[in-house]
Amino acid sequence: MRTGYVLPTVEASALATEHLDARVPMLAVAVSCVGRRLVLGEHVEDETEAMLKFFPAGTRQVGFYGYGGISPYSTGSCDFHNQTMMLTTLEEG
């Protein structure tokens, strides 16, 4: 497995869920860059399964592939980011 590419996604999932209520199931929407699919190959399922381990029981995950994203850097300027994974969580509250 190419853990160098899966590990950042797992770390991001851990950070994104550290302040969530573990008793409330949620919806996790993952948008992965198609470039990650090309790099990970058959191990793409490892990435999505690893992310779910951090979410409360009963959480559902949906997602699709995009072609990169445009996002700002900490400096404030925007640029194209390739081989990214964007994760959005929704919960009822």
In this predicted structure, what is the pLDDT of residue 62?
92
Mean pLDDT value across residues 84-88: 81
Mean pLDDT value across residues 40-65: 85
Looking from the CA of 18 toward its CB, the CA atoms found within 13 Å total 6
Residues 19-35: tens digit of each pLDDT: 777 778 889 898 888 88
Report pTM: 0.71
Looking from the CA of 93 toward its CB, the CA atoms found within 13 Å total 10
Question: How do the domains of the chain map onto residue ranges?
Answer: 3-91
CA dist list (Å): 37 to 24, 63, 93: 30, 13, 34
What pLDDT band is residue 1 in, cutting at 50, 70 and 90? very low
